[in-house]
A and B are shown apart, each in its own frame.
Chain A
Amino acid sequence: MAGTALLGRLAWQFGTLADIVQETPRVASLYFDIPEWQGHLAGQHVDVRLTADDGYVAERSYSIASPPEDRRVALTVERLEDGEVSPYLVGELRLGDKLELRGPIGGYFVWRAGEDRPLFLIGGGSGVVPLMAMLRHRERMKSKAPTRLLYSSRTLADIIYRQELDGLASAVDGVAVYHTLTREKPEGWTSFTRRVDEAMMQEVAWPKEQMPAVYICGPTTFVEAAASLLVSMGYPPLSIKTERFGATGGSA
């Protein structure tokens, strides 16, 4: 757990790729067996280290998609064509390959089942990944925390975890899932088709009087817009936790 990091250095360890789930044309979930894994909290991430045969090294961080309760640790990675690490993880890495990683990292953007405040998760693109760890954790722990997810994707085909989200939404005490698509309006689509705006927030957000815990993850402009809207609507800034990945996604 997070606190164990106090005991010593977060050591590099090996994960063995045990399963690959293609989530969208560009996004895959990689499931690793990590014998020495000490557990994690929903929302944390890991560092990944790749080493070439001449000693050249590249490191990146990826959010953990799996809940603490699962045996395997899953990373959901978007392949960025001009990237250095993501095209290796999604495209080159095969079942049985070893990957060097260390973690879990980050003690702030985390959610623990047992928190009963309403939960409001807002994700843009692959920013949904750490939020999915929270939703899975909530489901595994049979948490009753009232939960809403607002999830912005470019197109229908870009929605990550679509079937699983549908399943979570249809469960008793389920999660209310609100999709919005920013670059497509598919036939028969009844949910939002625009960027997150105030009217959408007014419709989807828990009333601020209910003191929701808010987690926002996505590209910088998305997170800035969503967080600013909530602040202007009177939500206390300290109730809003954000995680951003830069416009620099291209080099990840």
Chain B
Amino acid sequence: MGFISRGFRGKRRDTASSSRVPPGQYVVTDWPVLSAGPTPRVNVDQWTFSIEGEIDAPKRWTWKEFTALTTENITKDIHCVTKWSKLDTSWKGVSVDTLMDGVDTAAEFTTVFSDGGYTTNLTLDDITGGKAWVAYEFDGQPLHPEHGGPVRFLVPHLYFWKSAKWVRGIRLQKEEHPGFWESNGYHIRGDPWLEQRYWGD
């Protein structure tokens, strides 16, 4: 055993949930907000969602078209790199598999992009196969702007900065381009179970 913090006891978690909490994380019941800048106010009349880049025929949906797509109800634990985890969050959204249906691409990488210029990089493998959604309801209510509404990306198996707020589309790419946080010291992939928080982790 290595270093011990003299006098530290800590608050123990119940064992039922501890196996669901990645290393270095603690469970919260509220939902902290973390963003790099002001919260954009998105007008759904002008909102579209696009798939572009390495794709023969780029795809684009208006708000009306998007919200008419088949949705899924998703219940997942989410893990923020700032250390909090929130268990059993429930969402409604469209699976990326649904959006990618019929798309033939040579891309292995993607950049998910948002209003306000925020981007995050994800491999195509990390957002397909039932692992990622484009979500617009939380707990049965429209997603609040502070939490990324009207629509945010949801890729719960990676640290939550990958679940880009105010999302507007997916760019398919042959090479990996680090996104916003990934260019500012944070890990290129961000697997919470491997504690991939920062560059070099």
A and B assemble together: yes
Chain A 220-252 against B: per-residue CB contact (8 Å), 1 yes, 0 no? 100010011011000001101110111110010
Are A244 and B33 CB-contacts (below 8 A) given A5-B198, A51-B3? Answer: yes
The answer to whether B33 and A220 have CB atoms under 8 Å apart is: yes
In chain A, what residue has the closest Cβ to B13? A56
Q: How far is it, in angstroms, between the C-alpha of A241 and the C-alpha of B35 when the chains are bound?
A: 9
The answer to whether B39 and A228 have CB atoms under 8 Å apart is: yes
A-B contacts, CB under 8 A, total? 126
A-side contacts of B83, CB under 8 Å: 59-61
Q: How far is it, in angstroms, between the C-alpha of A127 and the C-alpha of B197 when the chains are bound?
A: 23
The answer to whether B38 and A240 have CB atoms under 8 Å apart is: yes
The answer to whether A237 and B37 have CB atoms under 8 Å apart is: yes
B82 at the interface (CB under 8 A from A): yes
A19 at the interface (CB under 8 A from B): no
The answer to whether A50 and B39 have CB atoms under 8 Å apart is: no
Closest approach, in angstroms, between the C-beta of B188 and any C-beta of chain A? 11
B32 at the interface (CB under 8 A from A): yes
Q: How far is it, in angstroms, between the C-alpha of A6 and the C-alpha of B117 when the chains are bound?
A: 24
Chain B 1-40 against A: per-residue CB contact (8 Å), 1 yes, 0 no? 1111111111110000000000111101011111111111
The answer to whether B33 and A10 have CB atoms under 8 Å apart is: no
The answer to whether A14 and B3 have CB atoms under 8 Å apart is: yes
The answer to whether A92 and B7 have CB atoms under 8 Å apart is: yes
Are A220 and B37 CB-contacts (below 8 A) given A6-B199, A61-B82, A92-B7? Answer: no
A-side contacts of B11, CB under 8 Å: 58, 84
Are A52 and B33 CB-contacts (below 8 A) given A2-B185, A84-B26? Answer: no
The A interface, classified by DSSP as helix, strand, loop or mixed, is: mixed
Closest approach, in angstroms, between the C-beta of B131 and any C-beta of chain A? 26
Q: How far is it, in angstroms, between the C-alpha of A231 and the C-alpha of B52 when the chains are bound?
A: 30
A-side contacts of B70, CB under 8 Å: none
Q: How far is it, in angstroms, between the C-alpha of A246 and the C-alpha of B85 when the chains are bound?
A: 13
The answer to whether B40 and A237 have CB atoms under 8 Å apart is: yes
B-side contacts of A61, CB under 8 Å: 82-83
Closest approach, in angstroms, between the C-beta of B19 and any C-beta of chain A? 14
In chain A, what residue has the closest Cβ to B82? A61
Of the 9-residue stretches A29-37, A103-111, A171-179, which lies at the interface with chain B?
A103-111
Chain B 174-201 against A: per-residue CB contact (8 Å), 1 yes, 0 no? 0000001101110000000000011111
B126 at the interface (CB under 8 A from A): no
The answer to whether A99 and B200 have CB atoms under 8 Å apart is: no
A27-84 interface (Cβ within 8 A of B): 47, 49-53, 55-61, 84
A188 at the interface (CB under 8 A from B): no
The answer to whether A242 and B37 have CB atoms under 8 Å apart is: yes
Q: How far is it, in angstroms, between the C-alpha of A88 and the C-alpha of B12 when the chains are bound?
A: 15
Q: How far is it, in angstroms, between the C-alpha of A61 and the C-alpha of B32 when the chains are bound?
A: 14
B49 at the interface (CB under 8 A from A): no
Q: How far is it, in angstroms, between the C-alpha of A242 and the C-alpha of B116 when the chains are bound?
A: 13
Q: How far is it, in angstroms, between the C-alpha of A47 and the C-alpha of B26 when the chains are bound?
A: 14
B84 at the interface (CB under 8 A from A): yes
B54 at the interface (CB under 8 A from A): no
What are 12 A-B interface contacts by the 8 Å CB criterion?
Answer: A2-B185, A8-B200, A55-B1, A56-B12, A57-B10, A58-B10, A59-B25, A59-B26, A88-B8, A92-B8, A227-B39, A242-B37
6 nearest A-B pairs in the assembled complex, by CB-CB distance: A246-B32, A227-B38, A9-B200, A107-B184, A59-B24, A5-B199
Extra 4 A-B pairs, beta carbons < 8 Å, given A5-B200, A99-B5, A242-B37: A5-B199, A10-B200, A47-B24, A248-B32
List A residues at the B interface (Cβ < 8 Å).
2, 5-10, 14, 47, 49-53, 55-61, 84, 88, 92-93, 97-100, 105-109, 220, 224, 227-228, 230-231, 237-238, 240-242, 244-248, 251
